[in-house]
Structure 1
Amino acid sequence: MRERQAETPYRVAVLVTDETSAFEVGMATAVFGPYLGDLIPGRYELRLCAERPTSVPLAGGAVLTTRYGLRQLRTAHTVIVPSSADLDVPPSDALIEELRAAHRAGARIVSTCTGAYKLAAAGLLDGRRATTHWRWAGLLRTRHPLVEVDPNPLYVDEGDVLTGAGSAASLDLFLHLVRKDFGTELANTVARRLVIQPHRDGDQAQYIEASVAAPPEDDGLARSMAWALKNLGGPITVGTLAREARMSERSYLRHFARSQGISPIRWLISQRVRASLPLLETSQASVEEVSAAVGFESPVTYRHHFTKIMRTSPSAYRRGFRTVQVGREAAGPDALRTVAP
């Protein structure tokens, strides 16, 4: 993947084609564009790129005007391919070649919703796990049998290629990119500015079959989850959570899956990894100490789950995102108390 030079912003190229989702283009613009310039000055440089740099009709009747063409993709750090309405119109040979060229040049390629179809047409998803909007996952699997299509997660991170479910889940994917690029603190700050949840795990289900009105047992779930977040450093089992929720283990497992779309254990692992990020970014604690502070039984287990979720090791993450504040010493062991019971 293309490395960022000091003081040089990451260039984010958003592909805009006929009938592209204005919603997804807008979300990319909100996160990587000038709207958040005061929060992330000099971090990103956004360019909207079209096959024919002129006025492009978007889905819903809006028209977007841009002066950037496809060649911009080759010099981008990140290329975002949003969804488009007409899946029966294949991408042009020129577009496919530019996507391949961008990937060869080291760009991180990202799709949202049916943008995955363009990545698949370029062969960038062959042999990879990928997702798209659940409604169009079956067709993607049929058209591109070499792609391991998973219709369930919000997004899939394969390192140099990421695919998302689209629609509102695009924001989850974009925050994930900010988190990978510049750390948890900045991603959380962006989320607060956009008034959205700071983090939803990529493996969380795209949709959950549930009624609009929350059933009474959801209060117990919320209580148990809040308790867990305050006690990540200690031993937590499904039985422990069920007791906090005042349910049987069987009922708790059923209600948790219905409400959150994942199992309690997977949720807990995700929260522990998430809690470890600011410790890696700002503290002097060793990986072993961080592992214990967030409740993993061993550093080996911690490294396994961290690498699976973050697509890099804890040590590599620390090297990439360790922050040094002028005039302040990095947080010492006391920082670990934020997650210890």
Structure 2
Amino acid sequence: MLAMDGVVGFDLAIPCQVFGLTKLPNGDYPYQVRVCGTEPSVTATAGGIGYYRIEPPNGLDAAEDADTIIVPGLTYTSPTPPEVIALLQSAAARGARTVSICTGAFALAEAGLLSGRHATTHWAAAAELSRRHPDVQVDTNALYTGESKVFTSAGVAAGLDLCLHLVRRDFGAAVAASSARTVVMAPTRDGDQAQFIPPPPTTTAADGSLSSTLTWMREQAATALTLADIAKHANLSTRTLTRRFRTQTGTTPLDWLARQRLQLARELLETTDLPVPAVAERSGHGSATALRAHFDRALRTSPTRYRQTFKQPEAL
């Protein structure tokens, strides 16, 4: 974990808690956690206000052989220190995993690690990240993003979701569920789940908010909905609906609905013994064949293999 001046104290503590307390069934603690500072003493902030100072026990040299480097949220009004940029680029070149929590994404972007990738950050900073780095595909409708070696998360508590996701990738669902219980956190929030972005000051139809339609779509995810059905609920033409939907969610109505259906299918596979055809029907995919196609395209796996990997221990 990199502790730069202006680091968000909560974001720095999250990975220390999750990875430091993760324990395998044999009692071993698989992660060696190091907090590495750019200076002997750095200011920890919240909302850009410095509240206290911390003294990182390690310098940046202690991160040079790390398998994973995490950049917590930071005050992003100033450029990332060049020594941090060099460290991140070197880590990526040797195949290490690089991770950002909240506004730590700015450091990954400055190091060129997010170029051409989907990424996320705190909703309030997303527009600025897009402005500074137009080559980054900023997703404002995700708790976390990533694949293989580069991961980003949205603000504050979404860092918990991402850290638990990484534990699950490393050691499986049972170990991640145990880690989640240790930090008193539900282990089921998925990266595609929307950030809790505040609605406009008023939310009547005249203001253009789609909040009620989004809620309705989540509730109706298992039913066959067309673009015309969604437009009718929003009292808009399909063209206007599509334009407003992309503005407010970053995607199209049918793509957003597909994400909700995929998430519902994943929850059913993780928490029930329903046969795959029944999961497909209840999640709005219609058939097992269609469900398998969606899983292959979005997750590069099959529903059966997904269940074998991620089914919650209490459902086994």
For the aligned pair, the TM-score class normalised by the smaller chain equals: 0.5 to 0.7
Indicate which of 78, 91, 97 corresponds to 1:102: 91
Aligned to 1:47: 33
Indicate which of 301, 306, 314 corresponds to 2:302: 314
Q: Label 1:269 to 1:219 Cα distance change in 2 as closer, same or farther (>3 A).
A: closer
Identity of aligned residues (%): 31
> Distance in 2 between the 1:192 and 1:251 partners?
46
1:1-341 matches, cutoff 5 A? 14-34=1-21, 37=23, 42=28, 44-52=30-38, 54-59=40-45, 60-93=50-83, 95-181=84-170, 182-183=172-173, 186-187=176-177, 190=180, 193-195=183-185, 198-202=188-192, 204-209=194-199, 235-237=223-225, 249-250=233-234, 269-270=258-259, 272-277=261-266, 291=280, 294-299=283-288, 301-307=290-296, 309-310=298-299, 312-314=300-302, 318=306, 321=309
> Distance in 2 between the 1:200 and 1:69 partners?
34
Partner deviation per Cα, 1:275-321 (whole Å, 9 max, x = no partner)? 544776799998777645754234453244335554x3237954982
- What is the one-letter code of the residue matched to 1:56? V
> Distance in 2 between the 1:47 and 1:137 partners?
29
> For 1:61, what is the secondary structure of its paired residue?
strand
- What is the one-letter code of the residue matched to 1:26? A
TM-superposed deviation, 1:69: 3.4
Q: Label 1:249 to 1:45 Cα distance change in 2 as closer, same or farther (>3 A).
A: same
TM value normalised by structure 2: 0.68
> Distance in 2 between the 1:219 and 1:177 partners?
33
- What is the one-letter code of the residue matched to 2:301? S
5+ unaligned residues in a row in structure 1: which ranges?
1-13, 243-247, 332-341
Partner deviation per Cα, 1:23-59 (whole Å, 9 max, x = no partner)? 111222332222x659995465252332457443322
- What is the one-letter code of the residue matched to 2:43? P
Q: Label 1:225 to 1:103 Cα distance change in 2 as closer, same or farther (>3 A).
A: same
The answer as to whether partners of 1:53 and 1:67 remain within 8 angstroms in 2 is no
Partner deviation per Cα, 1:259-286 (whole Å, 9 max, x = no partner)? x969886666445434544776799998
The answer as to whether partners of 2:72 and 2:102 remain within 8 angstroms in 1 is yes
Q: Label 1:201 to 1:97 Cα distance change in 2 as closer, same or farther (>3 A).
A: closer
- What is the one-letter code of the residue matched to 2:34? L
The answer as to whether partners of 1:56 and 1:64 remain within 8 angstroms in 2 is yes
The answer as to whether partners of 2:16 and 2:33 remain within 8 angstroms in 1 is no
> Distance in 1 between the 2:188 and 2:215 partners?
17
Q: Label 1:72 to 1:200 Cα distance change in 2 as closer, same or farther (>3 A).
A: same
The answer as to whether partners of 2:3 and 2:35 remain within 8 angstroms in 1 is yes
> For 1:141, what is the secondary structure of its paired residue?
helix
- What is the one-letter code of the residue matched to 2:133? H
> For 1:63, what is the secondary structure of its paired residue?
strand
> Distance in 1 between the 2:26 and 2:153 partners?
23
Partner deviation per Cα, 1:118-152 (whole Å, 9 max, x = no partner)? 11121111122222233333433343333233444
TM-superposed deviation, 1:207: 0.8
Q: Label 1:298 to 1:40 Cα distance change in 2 as closer, same or farther (>3 A).
A: farther
The answer as to whether partners of 2:6 and 2:44 remain within 8 angstroms in 1 is yes
